[in-house]
């Protein structure tokens, strides 16, 4: 990539992108698939949001490639495990 700063040509910047999966599209594909996972969690009415204050609630939080789920009760854990298994089968991936 060649850049210009104040109309002066700067030296070429070589962009090297490498991911462990050896496919630069893998990050984008992950983001698309994780969107479906979040929709599965949002649509499950048995997993209710946790109220943080009168005006804010939380059910899940996503950052980079991490997902944090907020729920009450051990019985909800089995429901989340079922959703994870469906997600793994749908996208042929393994969740850890």
Predicted TM-score (pTM) of the model is 0.58
Place of tokens 């991936």: 93
pLDDT in tens, 10-44: 777 665 666 566 677 777 887 888 888 888 888 88
Mean pLDDT score of the chain:
78
Spell out where the chain has E strands: 4-5, 8-9, 50-51, 57-58, 60-63, 66-69
User: How far apart are alpha carbons 63 and 54 in whole angstroms?
Assistant: 24
**How many other CB atoms are there within 10 angstroms of residue 37's CB atom?**
21
Backbone angles phi, psi at 85, to 5 degrees: -65, -40
19, 52 in Cβ contact below 8 A?
no
Q: What pLDDT shows up at residue 53?
A: 81
38, 60 in Cβ contact below 8 A?
yes
Per-domain residue ranges for the chain?
27-91
pLDDT in tens, 39-53: 888 888 788 788 888
């Amino acid at each position: 990539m060649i850049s210009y700063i104040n109309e002066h040509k700067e030296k070429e910047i070589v962009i090297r992108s490498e991911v462990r999966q050896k496919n630069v599209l893998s990050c984008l594909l992950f983001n698309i698939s994780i969107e479906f996972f979040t929709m599965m969690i949002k649509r499950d009415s048995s997993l209710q949001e946790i109220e943080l204050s009168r005006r804010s609630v939380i059910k899940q939080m996503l950052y980079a490639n991490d997902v944090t789920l907020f729920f009450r009760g051990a019985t909800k854990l089995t429901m989340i495990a079922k959703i994870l298994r469906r997600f793994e089968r749908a996208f042929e991936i393994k969740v850890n």
